[in-house]
């Protein structure tokens, strides 16, 4: 397993890679890095694949454009197309977790010739809704339910990233703790923020690292986000309404490639994204499996690496 920089048509990207064979891309989410896929990169290399996990645009060792307009879903998919080409390939299988899952689903939608199969972890495909952009709808739903404000709505603010940069280690520790399967129910995030609070103030100050996260692994995250900041990662959220405007041409389009979905039983994201889980096959008719991992939280590939690897490798073996 090695980390190296690779120049593509769009960015200089930092990638974690190992193995030779058919290409499999692993796309991370927030607030993670390519290193979140170490267990998968190792297992897939041993199984005869070329496994590659990039730091995504705005993260880690990859370029971080300043303009929020440079973080649209079209840019993010374009980065993956450019990476496949820079690796000398014309096809691959794409796997995404958290924010990486929407990128993976859209890779499949936009370039079915290149991305021959897709797997999403934690976030199911959420089709474009014709009624209008998503953030006003999110705010209205939360207001009607009396649940406060969805953190995604708070993340639209121009200074939303600064709460994480006051104390990077505390911000990351709270984020991992609030969405982990080992965290008690009463301390799991709901995704909704009461008036006068923010994403981090709703998490207990005594939050600990998840049991799967070593101090050394955590320090890699702290170092990367201390250096690179959180503006680029939060710009992904600030692009939600722009993504809606840019993807009208995808309205009602189905994902026709073989697909797989995995989610943790106790993943808080299911409260506000998992509602589309049951209807996933309507949008991905070749869905080969939809698995709920008992007791698992949000950080699926790190919490349950053996189970995730087994399900993903079986999915790929079925393709072959």
Is 276 considered catalytic here? no
Q: Rounded CA gap, 248 and 179, in Å?
A: 32
Contacts (Cβ under 8 Å, ≥6 apart) of 255? 105, 108, 109, 118, 125, 283, 284, 286
Pick the closest to residue 19 from 55, 45, 44 (CA basis): 45
Residue written as token pair 């349950």: 304
Contacts (Cβ under 8 Å, ≥6 apart) of 120? 95, 96, 97, 101, 104, 105, 259, 260, 261, 262
Is 298 considered catalytic here? yes
> Contact, 130 vs 251, CB < 8 A?
yes
Joined tokens for residue 250: 């995808």
Tell me the backbone φ, ψ of residue 166, rounded to 5 degrees.
Answer: -65, -45
Q: What share of the chain is helix, strand, coil (3-state, %, to 5)?
A: 45, 15, 40
Question: Which residues face 95 on adjacent strands?
Answer: 26, 119
Measure the N-to-C terminal CA separation of the chain; round to a whole number of Å. 24
- Residue 10's SS3 state is coil
Positive or negative, the CA dihedral 189, 194, 198, 204 is negative
Catalytic residue among 70, 98, 235, 267: 98
Catalytic residue among 50, 97, 106, 298: 298
Cite the active site residues. Answer: 98, 298
């Amino acid at each position: 397993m090695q980390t190296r920089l690779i120049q593509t048509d769009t960015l200089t990207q930092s990638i974690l890679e190992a193995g030779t064979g058919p290409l499999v891309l692993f796309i991370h989410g927030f607030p993670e890095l390519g290193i979140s896929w170490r267990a998968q990169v190792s297992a897939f290399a041993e199984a005869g694949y070329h496994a590659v996990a990039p730091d995504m645009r705005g993260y880690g060792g990859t370029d971080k454009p300043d303009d929020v307009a440079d973080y649209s879903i079209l840019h993010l998919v374009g980065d993956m197309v450019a990476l496949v080409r820079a690796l000398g390939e014309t096809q691959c299988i794409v796997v995404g977790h958290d924010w990486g899952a929407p990128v993976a689903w859209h890779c499949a939608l936009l370039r079915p010739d290149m991305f021959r199969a897709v797997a999403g972890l934690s976030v199911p495909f959420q089709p474009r809704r014709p009624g209008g952009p998503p953030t006003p709808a999110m705010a209205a739903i939360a207001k009607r339910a009396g649940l406060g404000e969805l953190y995604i709505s708070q993340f639209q603010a121009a200074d939303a990233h600064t709460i994480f940069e006051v104390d990077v280690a505390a911000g990351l520790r709270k984020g991992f703790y609030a969405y982990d399967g080992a965290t008690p129910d009463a301390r799991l995030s709901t995704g909704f923020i009461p008036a006068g609070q923010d994403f981090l103030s709703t998490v207990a100050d005594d939050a600990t690292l998840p049991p799967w996260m070593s101090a050394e692994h955590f320090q890699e995250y702290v170092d990367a986000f201390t250096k690179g900041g959180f503006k680029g990662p939060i710009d992904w959220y600030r692009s939600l309404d722009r993504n809606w405007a840019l993807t009208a041409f995808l309205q009602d389009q189905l994902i026709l490639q073989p697909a797989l979905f995995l989610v943790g039983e106790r993943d808080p994201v299911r409260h506000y994204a998992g509602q589309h889980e049951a209807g996933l096959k309507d949008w991905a008719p070749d869905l080969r499996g939809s698995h709920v991992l008992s007791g698992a939280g949000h950080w699926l590939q790190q919490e349950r690496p053996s189970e995730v690897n087994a399900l993903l490798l079986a999915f790929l073996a079925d393709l072959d």
